[in-house]
Amino acid sequence: MCGGHGICGKCIVKIYSSEKLTPTTTEKKLLSKSDLASGYRLACLVKTLKPTRLKIEIPPESEETHQRLIVSGFMPKISIHPTIKKVYLEIKPPTLNDPKSDLNRLTSTLEKNGQFRITDINYNSLKELATVLRNDEWKTTVSIFKNREIIRIESGDTSKSCYGFSVDIGTTKLAGYLINLLNGKTVSTVSNLNPQSKFGEDIIARITFTMKDINSMSEINRCIIEGINSLIKEACNSAGISSNEILDVSVAGNTAMHHIFLGISPRYLSLAPYPPVISRGLEVKAKDLGLNTNIGSRVYLLPVVAGFVGGDAVADVIATGIHSANDLSMLIDIGTNAEIILGTKKRLVSCSCASGPAFEGSHIRHGMRASQGAIERIWIDPRSLDVSFKVIGDTKPVGICGSAVVEGIAEMLRTGIIDSRGRMDQNNTKLIRKKNDSLEFVIASRSDSGINDDIVITQSDVREIQLAKAAVYTGISILMKHMKIKPKEIKKFYLAGAFGTHIDPSSAIDLGMFPEIPLERIQFVGNTAGSGARMTLISNPTRKLVERIIKKIDYIELGANANFQKEFISSMDLPNTNKNLFPTIMKTINRNLFLLEQDKNT
Amino acid sequence: MCGGHGICGKCIVKIYSSEKLTPTTTEKKLLSKSDLASGYRLACLVKTLKPTRLKIEIPPESEETHQRLIVSGFMPKISIHPTIKKVYLEIKPPTLNDPKSDLNRLTSTLEKNGQFRITDINYNSLKELATVLRNDEWKTTVSIFKNREIIRIESGDTSKSCYGFSVDIGTTKLAGYLINLLNGKTVSTVSNLNPQSKFGEDIIARITFTMKDINSMSEINRCIIEGINSLIKEACNSAGISSNEILDVSVAGNTAMHHIFLGISPRYLSLAPYPPVISRGLEVKAKDLGLNTNIGSRVYLLPVVAGFVGGDAVADVIATGIHSANDLSMLIDIGTNAEIILGTKKRLVSCSCASGPAFEGSHIRHGMRASQGAIERIWIDPRSLDVSFKVIGDTKPVGICGSAVVEGIAEMLRTGIIDSRGRMDQNNTKLIRKKNDSLEFVIASRSDSGINDDIVITQSDVREIQLAKAAVYTGISILMKHMKIKPKEIKKFYLAGAFGTHIDPSSAIDLGMFPEIPLERIQFVGNTAGSGARMTLISNPTRKLVERIIKKIDYIELGANANFQKEFISSMDLPNTNKNLFPTIMKTINRNLFLLEQDKNT
């Protein structure tokens, strides 16, 4: 998960070898002495002295099981006005008295009903034009981009086959949607992990990789293009069409993904003041990018707001409609970065927080993605402090997914197992114990777990989640202060993205990650980045709308905000240094402490 | 000159070989017995039995000496408004309070003065943008296409270097002009033979070649692209600039050359009703065509009127200005095809005649191009019938150029050496003699010539010129009848193209090739196809003008005209069956016959 840097300790394997493989310092730090003695190592760090065949055992917690990727998302009903139209024509053949050019003949037939005004023809279509027109006695189907450019010409009537493809390029995952452009319906949905992960798990690691040497930029660009090409292939196979039928593509992604996809170096996104190279919406030829769609097809990229508020956030806005709402709304899309947008139809402000990959289970001792064997819910009895949990799939647990780590820590806070600084105290319960000089809380004991060990939440895990949630709340708080509003004024609170779909909102509020607002105002909208991308594919007017919306989204650079340090330090506390902001969790803690005290006394 | 088909007999070589090389039937027909015995063969037909080294002698008449290619042409003064503008900018670097995208920063600086409204940026420039802007502290020079698209971006101030290239693609020759787009001046002029000649000398031969097999279309297309690329290289070397500085290209050519240049099959141009694939003016990316100019540069192709009235004729029109003249004008551009345009600013009609390559010296026994050693003028004394001639360069003659063949035959007609049917009569003069069963007239005897033979005009040469001039006059006559006008109403008669520059107009009139009009109304305009191409490079408004002009040029398909056969047969006579049309030559013939008669009687 760390991209082979020997940081995350997630690729534990057991090696059977005659060669003595000396553990590295990192391995000594991340693995226990007994594990090392049993032959456990990190796959990314092991170097053999000579080319050899090793027997390797992959423990269950290191396996990549099929992950639950959230690809569906809320999408409003919109009318179908794609940029591409297909028209079937029967053209009068030339005669000696009417020998005008093939193209004039075609366009004058096409322009008869007044809908089209052809100013351009794609070079490839021009080369084929004469033959295609004559192949089926001047019966032909023309594909037209924005009522003005001929991008494809076919013999006979093929007007019933017109497809487009939308992609949401996430840092971690890709979601693709094959759309029938005649009715706007999604014909097949495909998803995969972003193959760029091998270059690093977060945006900064990827950007750093692009600067490694002269070839790395094109290497990482080719990687994402190939990744999307396999999604296209999969989607087309499942729908039984050729990828040549795809005449339009739309893409939403954060700014770094957007730049890398275009083959633009994202180098300056990592240097203050983090300007993107291009922010406006862009239409590029698919063949310039190397996408395996029709040679005449275009690729539309949603505009980006700033270096760290990208086209995915813009897609979230149009899918949730907060740009046109009277009610004050807040939208949070949590991935490896969290984008936050707050406002009404009059004005929107946005920011981006480096929440990091902890919410996805990275940098967490037993963290894992939300796949088979992951603990997805955790409850702690306030009186007995006994732990219950729920596992994905009918199996013993092998780790804890990100949202359950949040819930587990919220339960630890509610039941007094950790204090407002996130500290564990061994005196609280015997489930807290010291191992290798640091404290950990047992969620599933070795006998209940599917790995050869207890599954725990460590003191350092708590610290990771505190950092991540503080980053998010700092952004929320600065936006609220910028707009001069209080939490109770937020009428709609949209949670987008995979993490936002799994998280227990009351846990997030109790930890001080989200502001305290009535739970019924919170709406899970799923992958709205994908929905927004689809909307711009189905509806050309939406592309125009997006350009207008983008102009009214202000961007706040958190690092440049005078209150950033102060807000961040306050937000590190559980729930917050300013306890008045979170009355509910304070009441819960006090009640539970009272109950515990009472039980002790009886 | 026939493209290796063994037809023209122009590639005579003397072969010294131990191997007995049996002459082909064609060689037996085209070469004399004594020549064959001396080892003369046609280079294009000789096949050796085994790979071997031959000693070859190339006789002077087969040598390609440097040809006089007419590249300059009349061009009116126009104001400089190229499609490309270069602008030097000093841009404010981004800050945390103003982190907008590099492109927004660039375009907002650029759009300040209101001249530009940037809607697009070339993909390649976008990829380089961030680096180029930062290379010289945000000092940059931007090249903008039509005030709306950024096609190039450079560090520092390069606004003083802005070039374009114009090409006239003739069937036989290419002419190229490197233009400084800042002042419209031609920096260097280059020309060469069209390398496609190896696929056949005329348009029909080239079209036939494109249909030979699956690769021949791309082969002939590559050939012309490479030919133009070498012109570009030569022009840039001579001006001391890199071809990367060329930001715009304009191209004029007849319809077949236009299609082949674009990689479009010209197949249907050779089949009735001869429709072009595209007729409107076109802007294509240079990189799509494979031209070695700047990667962002466009190529503009002048529109074509019909399958055989191309962009070169349209260029002739704008350069001569006949589209805006009150006076009735006729324009003839004679190449391997002759395009004729007649009319005023109100209305123009055009046609194309298959005059063939005889005017360029092909299919003529001793015909050759107008190069070193060619007889370029011929006079016959009306009383002695002695022949005088003038040769290009300080050398003995090796052949006769096309315009001198016309003049020679006109002199033969004036002096009664041939009659109105073009027939020679051995009784007229001893300079007419029979050889291999056919008559020929000696222009330069073996002792005066630079080849080992007499230089003659044969009966069959006269026939070739009759066919060619009849084709031209048929077109002229049909256009005049279509417009219901008489020759004397033509106030301006423009002769364009290389042949049109060398020809003696009174000889052409006397042969009945041009209508009889006062000589002072005839104007030689040179290569106006090249001039028109340059005008569309220097002036974008001219491109718009051209689209309007093209709409008012009617095209007459001669083959579909009811009078074609009749007109053609009349025009075969010298000067014409209708002798009243050409009173001057009739008077000359009668006077000369009278003089001869008188001399005989004294």
Distance from the Cα of B523 to chain A's closest Cα (Å) equals 32
Cα atoms in the 13 Å half-sphere on the side-chain side of A94: 24
Edge-to-edge strands of the sheet including B338-343? B522-526, B492-496, B329-334, B338-343, B348-353, B553-555
Q: Is A125 in a helix, a strand, or coil?
A: helix
| Window from A199-203, A422-426, B227-231, B238-242 with minimum mean pLDDT | A199-203
Q: Considering only alpha carbons, which residue of chain B is nearest residue A102?
A: B277
Tens digit of each residue's pLDDT (9 = 90 or more) over A551-578: 999 999 998 899 999 999 999 999 999 9
Residue A61: pLDDT band (50, 70, 90) is low
CB contact under 8 A, B557 and A272: no
Average pLDDT over residues A357-379: 89
Most confidently modeled of A38-52, A117-131, B70-84? Answer: A117-131
State the nearest Cα–Cα gap between A303 and chain B, in angstroms: 11
Q: Which one of A237-246, A328-337, A363-372, B495-504 scores highest in mean pLDDT?
A: A237-246
Question: Cα–Cα distance between B259 and B272 in angstroms, integer?
Answer: 17
SS3 string of B87-102?
EEEECCCCECCECCCH
**Percent of residues, chain B, with pLDDT higher than 90:** 76
Q: Which one has a higher pLDDT value, B593 or A27? A: B593
Direct distance between the N- and C-terminal alpha carbons of chain B, in angstroms, rounded to an integer: 49
Q: What is the pLDDT of residues A532-547, one digit of tens each?
A: 999 999 999 999 999 9
What are the pLDDT digits (tens) for B433-455? 998 889 999 999 999 999 989 99
pLDDT at B532 over 60: yes
- Among the partner-chain residues B94, B273, B304, the one whose CB lies closest to the CB of A275 is B94
Q: Does residue A359 have a pLDDT over 50? A: yes
Q: Is the pLDDT of residue B25 over 80?
A: no
For B263, which of A121, A127, A555 is closest by C-beta distance?
A127
> Could you give the domains of chain A?
12-58 (no CATH), 84-155 (3.10.20.880), 322-355+482-568 (no CATH), 358-465+583-601 (no CATH)
Q: Which residues contact A491 (CB under 8 A, 6 or more apart)?
A: A327, A328, A329, A521
Residue B178's SS3 state is: strand
| Average pLDDT of every residue of chain A | 91
- Which of A9-13, A33-37, B404-408 has the highest mean predicted lDDT (pLDDT)? B404-408
Using the beta-carbon criterion (under 8 Å), do B277 and A130 form an inter-chain contact? Answer: yes
For residue B363, the model assigns a pLDDT of 87
Q: Is A420 an 8 Å CB contact of chain B?
A: no
In DSSP terms, A375 is beta-bridged to A391, A400
Q: Which of A5-19, A475-489, B208-222, B500-514 has the lowest mean pLDDT?
A: A5-19
> Which among B272, B280, B559 has the least Cβ separation from residue A103?
B280
- B104 part of contact set with chain A, CB < 8 Å: yes
3-state SS track over A183-226: CCCEEEEEEEECHHHHHCCCHHHHHHHHCCCCCHHHHHHHHHHH
Nearest neighbour of B278 by CB, restricted to A99, A103, A285: A103
DSSP string of A44-70?
A: TT---SSS---EEE--GGG--PPB---
- In A367-502, the DSSP E strands lie at 367-368, 374-380, 387-391, 399-401, 432-435, 438-444, 455-458, 492-496
With CB atoms and an 8 Å threshold, state whether B275 touches A102: yes
For the residues A399-412, what does the mean pLDDT come to? Answer: 95
The two structure tokens encoding residue A542: 């939406």
Cα B175 from Cα B197, distance rounded (Å): 15
Indicate yes or no: CB of B276 within 8 angstroms of CB of A101.
Answer: yes
* Interface contact A541, partner B, CB < 8 A: no
pLDDT band for position B65 (cuts 50, 70, 90)? very low
Report whether A310 contacts A529 (CB < 8 A): no
Q: Which residues pair with A320 in a beta bridge?
A: none
Shortest CA distance from A99: residue in chain B: B275
The β-bridge partners of B349 are: B342, B554
Q: Is residue A65 very low, low, confident or very high in pLDDT (cuts 50, 70, 90)?
A: very low
CB contact under 8 A, B268 and A102: yes
Helix spans in A282-338 (H): 286-289, 311-320
- Residue B292: pLDDT over 70: yes
Mean pLDDT confidence for B474-480: 98
Q: Which of A36-50, A114-128, B137-151, B387-401 shows the lowest per-residue confidence on average (mean pLDDT)? A: A36-50
- Judged against a pLDDT cut of 80, whether residue B16 lies above it is answered with no
Q: How many CA atoms lie within 13 A of B146 on its CB side?
A: 13
Mean pLDDT computed over A224-236: 98
* pLDDT confidence of residue B47: 66
Q: How confident is the model at residue B58 (pLDDT cuts 50, 70, 90)?
A: low
Q: Which residue of chain A comes nearest to B100, CA vs CA?
A: A275
Of A166, A157, A319, nearest to A228 (Cα)?
Answer: A166
A302 to chain B: which residues are within 8 Å by CB? Answer: none
Please report which confidence band the pLDDT of residue A469 belongs to, taking 50, 70 and 90 as the band edges. very high
The per-residue pLDDT for B418 is: 96
* Share above pLDDT 70 across residues of chain B, in percent, rounded to a whole number: 92
Distance of alpha carbon B78 from alpha carbon B95, whole angstroms: 46
- Mean pLDDT over A404-428 rounds to 95
- Overall average pLDDT of the B238-243 stretch: 98
Mean pLDDT along residues B220-248: 98
Q: Where are the strands (E) in B505-552, listed by range?
A: 522-526
pLDDT at residue A355, as a whole number: 85
Cβ distance of B273 and A103 shorter than 8 Å: no
pLDDT of residue B22: 77
**A108 and chain B in contact, CB less than 8 A:** no
Note whether A468 and A355 are within 8 A (CB).
yes
Contact status of A560 with chain B (Cβ, < 8 Å): yes
What amino acid is encoded at B574 in this protein? L
Sign for the pseudo-dihedral over CA of B351, B355, B357, B358: negative
Structure tokens at B195: 């390398």
Residues ≥6 apart with Cβ < 8 Å to A506: A410, A519
Positive/negative CA dihedral, A197, A201, A206, A208:
negative
Query: If pLDDT is split at 50, 70 and 90, which confidence band does A35 have?
Result: confident
Contacts of B100 in chain A (CB under 8 A): 275, 279
Least confident of A59-73, A82-96, A103-117: A59-73
What's residue A4's pLDDT?
A: 58
Give every CB contact of residue A44 below 8 A, 6+ residues apart in sequence: A2, A4, A5, A6, A11
**DSSP per-residue string spanning B432-449:** EEEETTEEEEEEE-TTTS
Give the pLDDT score at B59: 61
Single-letter amino acid code for the residue at A133:
L
Question: In terms of Cα–Cα distance, which of B81, B545, B533 is closest to B316?
Answer: B533
Bridge partners (DSSP) of residue B456 are B442
User: Quick check: A96 and B557 in contact, CB under 8 A?
Assistant: yes
Mean pLDDT of all residues in A113-130: 94
Name the closest residue on chain B to residue A273, using Cα atoms: B96
Q: In what order do the strands lie in the sheet with A139-145?
A: A84-90, A139-145, A149-155, A120-121
Long-range pairs, B545-552, Cβ under 8 A, ≥24: B545/B318, B546/B281, B546/B302, B546/B303, B546/B314, B546/B318, B547/B280, B547/B281, B547/B303, B549/B314, B549/B317, B549/B318, B549/B323, B549/B348, B550/B279, B550/B280, B550/B281, B550/B303, B550/B305, B550/B314, B552/B323, B552/B346, B552/B347, B552/B348
Q: For chain B, say whether A281 makes contact (Cβ under 8 Å).
A: no
User: Phi, psi at residue B380, to the nearest 5°?
Assistant: -125, 125
Q: How far apart are CA B234 and CA A261, in angstroms?
A: 39
Residues of B in contact with A275 (CB under 8 A): 94, 99-102, 105
| pLDDT, average across residues A3-14 | 63
Per residue in B302-315, pLDDT (tens digit) is 999 999 999 999 99
Question: Tens of pLDDT along A153-186?
Answer: 999 999 999 999 999 999 989 999 999 999 999 9
The predicted structure's pLDDT at residue A21: 72
CB-nearest to B277 from A103, A262, A555 is A103
Closest CA to A333 of A363, A349, A310: A310
Q: What's the whole-number mean pLDDT along residues B13-35?
A: 72
Q: Which amino acid is at A398?
A: V
Quote ipTM for the complex.
0.86
Q: Averaged over A475-497, what is the pLDDT?
A: 96
* The pLDDT value given to residue A57: 66
Helix (H, G, I), strand (E, B) or coil at A406: helix
